[in-house]
A and B are shown apart, each in its own frame.
Chain A
Amino acid sequence: KQEVTQIPAALSVPEGENLVLNCSFTDSAIYNLQWFRQDPGKGLTSLLLIQSSQREQTSGRLNASLDKSSGRSTLYIAASQPGDSATYLCAVDYNQGGKLIFGQGTELSVKP
């Protein structure tokens, strides 16, 4: 079964710290991987999309990497801020027509 796992489920860091969120997937034959942010009770905001032929994508303080051979992606957040507090979701398109399989998310809390 194709699955996506995110560890840890929750993470608390002090403001200013650099941090890494992890995402693993069971099947390396992916089309793309997308990172989302979700604020409590709100919708999903797309952060970064990495296509299967790419190794990383960057947007501002965010950098996402993809290693298909090991079935892993990481989201690096530099110089974290309290406004980064949210749940971060990883989703994989497993060559199934754009249908996404989601991890359960990592709830990030950045303390002032």
Chain B
Amino acid sequence: DADVTQTPRNRITKTGKRIMLECSQTKGHDRMYWYRQDPGLGLRLIYYSFDVKDINKGEISDGYSVSRQAQAKFSLSLESAIPNQTALYFCATSDGLYTEAFFGQGTRLTVV
């Protein structure tokens, strides 16, 4: 099983719908992150969490919210999806400042 698991892997949704992307990890890391990847723009940070009670906005948090349900679970929500939120979304974990980041396989989201 993958260390960082994202569900669903693919999702098509309609404009205005609420959608949740889920991430779970078995690495025991405290830190979790959500990024989105767009062609030509690379990966950009949406939200991050350093522990269960900590939530921080990243570079592009508008239109998104997150929930850290447990050390191992970090969910990303789009309250009212819009077409320009069509992208590849990645969850990542790390255990501190100097150590590797580990990424999930990604969720491809299409908003029509």
Chain A residues engaging chain B, CB cutoff 8 angstroms:
31-32, 34, 36, 41-46, 49, 51, 89, 91, 93, 97-100, 102-105
Contact = CB atoms under 8 A, between A and B. Distances in A.
Chain A interface helix/strand/loop/mixed: strand
Interface in B19-76: 31, 33, 35, 40-45, 48, 50, 58
A98 B103 contact: no
Given A43-B106, A98-B94, A99-B58, A49 B99 contact: yes
A97 B54 CA distance: 13
B101 A98 contact: yes
A49 B96 CA distance: 13
A46 B93 CA distance: 12
Nearest to A93: B97
Interface residues of B, number: 28
Contact of B101 (A41, A46, A51, A104): A46
B104 A43 contact: yes
Indicate the member of A36, A44, A51, A102 with the most B CB atoms within 10 Å: A44
A73 B41 CA distance: 20
Given A43-B90, A102-B42, A32 B103 contact: no
B45 A31 contact: no
A44 B44 CA distance: 14
Contacts of A103: 42
B61 to A, nearest CB: 12
B15 to A, nearest CB: 24
Contacts of A32: 97-98
A39 to B, nearest CB: 10
Interface string B75-112: 00000000000001010101011111111111010000
Nearest to A104: B42
A49 B100 contact: yes
Contacts of B50: 97-98
Contacts of A36: 103
Contacts of A41: 88, 106, 108
A42 B42 contact: no
